[in-house]
Amino acid sequence: MTSRKEHELRYKLGEETHRIIKRDVVSQVANADSVADFTRGAISRQAPQLSKLVRGGMIAQRLVLLLSNIRGINEEIPESTPGASIKDERVSKSLTVTITNVAAREFGNLTDETTISTSVAVRCCIFAELYDYDQEDELLDDWMSEEIVRTWSGIRANIAEPLRYFHSILANRFTHQRDITQYFIQKDPQPFNHFAESYKNDFYQTACYTDLINNHGDHVLTNVENTIEEHTEFSFDSEKRGFLSEYETG
């Protein structure tokens, strides 16, 4: 029975991955006497980093849904579907791991911002940890090392894809096809007002907002905000000047 300071996670792990951890990793890693120990450490260390890659995912989904309520606009962010397993391996090992409540909160941030299951999220943490250990200490032979790099690379790209897709939707609708978008807004203004309200109250100046500026610049988001100001009563000018000043000097 787990204590109040612990949280139990049930997950499935691929057979080959389980063998790699048990045979080649546990014996060489400090403070890891079992697969469960390794997994516990992986979640504690990797969940905070992975959650940064996906933060804002749910509000991005909501904003695209609100935008698509405008007649004539139909957009959708694909769900994140990382396999989080070595190619062709059977994901059949049913396991449990207990983690601290602190680690559980960080892990919850990861699953709350994505559509991935607990089991897949645990495996994402495991492969991130395997990648880090092998890059630092070269624990694995060449074949296994290549498989870990390939798998982790696919996971990292996949879980971050929804936010990249979100930015591409905004770029398409408010930069490349801005005239078409404005036409639909003028024909059906009320749904756009709901989009604008959520954009300002739930997304504007959040960590996700800053991440998009870091990764893509502020041109597209400025176009969104200019369109919002043109068609609604919401305004960003004075707030954004202060935000960008802090961003540039922070």
Q: What is the pLDDT of residue 249?
A: 43
Beta pairing, strands 91-100 & 6-14: antiparallel
239 — pLDDT class (breaks 50, 70, 90): low
**What is the tens place of the pLDDT at every residue in 96-114?**
999 999 999 999 999 999 9
Contact present, 64 and 166 (Cβ < 8 Å): yes
**What is the tens place of the pLDDT at every residue in 119-152?**
999 999 999 999 998 887 777 788 888 999 999 9
For the chain, how far is it from start to end, CA to CA, in angstroms? Answer: 46
- Residue 55 amino acid letter: R
C-alpha separations of 139 from 23, 107, 187 in Å: 11, 26, 61
pLDDT of 161 above 70: yes
Dihedral of CA 150/156/160/164: which sign?
negative
Tell the residue number behind the tokens 């897709």, with chain if given. 165
Please state the pTM of the whole predicted model: 0.86
